[in-house]
Amino acid sequence: MSSIIPIISEELKRYLEILLGNEVSKKYLQKIITPMEEYSLHVYRDISRVSEILDNLKLNGFDAHQHKIFDNLIITTPKGPFELTHLEGSKEIIVDNRAAEMIYQGADLFVPGVKRANRVKVGDVVNILNQKNILVARAEATMSHNQMLMENQGIAARNILSPYIVPNLELLNDRDTPMYFQSIPAYLASINLDPKPEDKILDCCAAPGNKTFHLSELTEDQAQIIAVDRSKRRIEKIKSKIRKYKTSNITAYTGNIIELSKKWNVKFDKILIDPPCSSLGLRPRLIHNVDVKTIKSIAQYQKAILFACDELLKDNGTIVYSTCTVTKEENEEIIHHAVENMDYRVVEQNFVFSKTEISIADFTFPVQRFIPGIDKTLGYFIAKLQKSKS
């Protein structure tokens, strides 16, 4: 599968070379098209099931072990890479880029991802390609092309062969144990906030809620936690998890934290900010369609979120700021802005796992930066800030 390279603009490629240096940039581009080397499964609350889940993963052919430090985490690795070649004479299904990246990791093709499927019949073995003609899988059609056009849900084709197979919850066939896949950096973002049972905590860009529930778990469901997200659909999913996990200390709201901060008369002890970002750390990514202008625009929005959260934070309160991207504008420059203009100081994190030691724009504060090609994770950034007294 080494012949596959990410489709990336010359502008973004040059940006990454300047930011990371030629060697690290090259490693990043080699790894960003692959799944993470290690996936972590967070077993929520009930670690007595860890051994059973480990056995289940191994029975399904995945290497897996319990994390050496965090006993509620299972570390597992994807299968692959497998050699995938174009099946000559077979029909093709073209899928959108989001679907392509899921199928590339072993998922089946669902109807909403289909862009084109001319003359495909049930039972046809087809080539699955993304919109840039990158082959991502071989699959067997479970619907005709007419059905795919008429239906709005369901499986359009079953994956036969893809470059990778990533572990998923469905294969575990365990609906009784609350658990979810959560990357190590995302896990660290929550634990480094150091939540306490007596704290009032805000997770201001909460969906899908994994860090929200982790904060609750860390405080034995005692802290008062408010989860906010702009998406009503995603907040409804968090509310569904609240009911499923029988968690009583989380309240979920739909809304934009910038607007809510102008209305709320409340102060929080701790705030977790994981704002919308350019997502240049997510893996696998076969296409990078972000330009520098967009990066700078997103960074301005992130500063607005930080300002809104400052209005809601108590004196001496703590913020953990994290993103799943690698740009300096959305990471180091946001933290520099908080220190220079908002009276914050950067504090050491209790758990530091990143192996990345490159210097970004002479930034010397203690933060964590995960980069594909150096770390076995997605690209990620974590900083911990403490607000000074007024």
Cα separation, 39 vs 361, whole angstroms: 31
pLDDT at position 3 is: 56
220 and 200 inside one domain = yes
Query: Confidence class of residue 23 from pLDDT cuts 50, 70 and 90?
Result: very high
Query: Confidence class of residue 390 from pLDDT cuts 50, 70 and 90?
Result: low
Q: Is the pLDDT of residue 1 over 70?
A: no
Please tell me whether residue 318 adopts helix, strand or coil conformation. strand
CATH of the domain at 72: 3.30.70
pLDDT cut 90: percent of the chain above it: 88
pLDDT tens column, 172-208:
877 778 899 999 999 999 999 999 999 999 999 999 9
For residue 119, with 0-12 CB atoms within 10 Å meaning exposed, 13-18 middle and 19 or more buried, which class applies?
A: exposed
Cα separation, 382 vs 365, whole angstroms: 11
73 and 156 inside one domain = no
Residue 20 located in a structural domain: no
Residue 4 located in a structural domain: no
Tokens of 49: 């099931």
321 and 357 inside one domain = yes
pLDDT at position 361 is: 77
Residue 141 located in a structural domain: yes
**Across all residues in the chain, what is the average pLDDT?**
94
Cα separation, 380 vs 354, whole angstroms: 9
152 and 240 inside one domain = no
Domain boundary at 161, 192, 212, which? 161
pLDDT tens column, 120-133:
999 999 999 999 99
Residue 344 located in a structural domain: yes
**Residue type at position 150:** M
149 and 233 inside one domain = no
CATH of the domain at 189: 3.40.50.150
109 and 215 inside one domain = no
Cβ atoms of 218 and 188 within 8 Å: the answer is no
Order of strands, edge to edge, in the sheet holding 64-66?
64-66, 73-76, 39-43, 179-181
Lowest mean pLDDT among 116-120, 325-329, 356-360: 356-360
Residue 267 located in a structural domain: yes
Domain boundary at 161, 191, 222, which? 161
Q: What is the DSSP letter of 79?
A: B
pLDDT at position 376 is: 96
pLDDT at position 2 is: 43
Tokens of 174: 């365990």
| Residue carrying structure tokens 């073995």 | 125
123 and 207 inside one domain = no
286 and 361 inside one domain = yes
Using alpha carbons, list the distances in angstroms from residue 296 to 163, 301, 333: 34, 9, 11
Tokens of 109: 């093709």
**128 phi and psi, to 5 degrees?**
-105, 125
The count of structural domains within the chain is 3
Tokens of 126: 């087809």
115 and 61 inside one domain = no
Q: Can you spell out the DSSP letters for 195-245?
A: --TT-EEEETT-TT-HHHHHHHHHTTT-SEEEEEES-HHHHHHHHHHHHHT
Domain that holds residue 264: 183-387
Domain boundary at 150, 182, 214, which? 182
191 and 251 inside one domain = yes
Tokens of 41: 């499964």
How far is Cα of residue 223 from the mean position of the Cα atoms in its chain? Answer: 25
Kind of pairing between the strands at 109-110 and 287-288:
unpaired
307 and 262 inside one domain = yes
Q: What is the mean pLDDT of residues 127-154?
A: 94
Task: Categorise residue 89: left if φ over 0, alpha if ψ from -120 to 50, beta otherwise.
Answer: left
Cα separation, 23 vs 278, whole angstroms: 22
pLDDT at position 371 is: 97
Cα separation, 330 vs 337, whole angstroms: 11
Residue 259 located in a structural domain: yes
304 and 178 inside one domain = no
Cα separation, 61 vs 63, whole angstroms: 7
**44 phi and psi, to 5 degrees?**
-80, 115
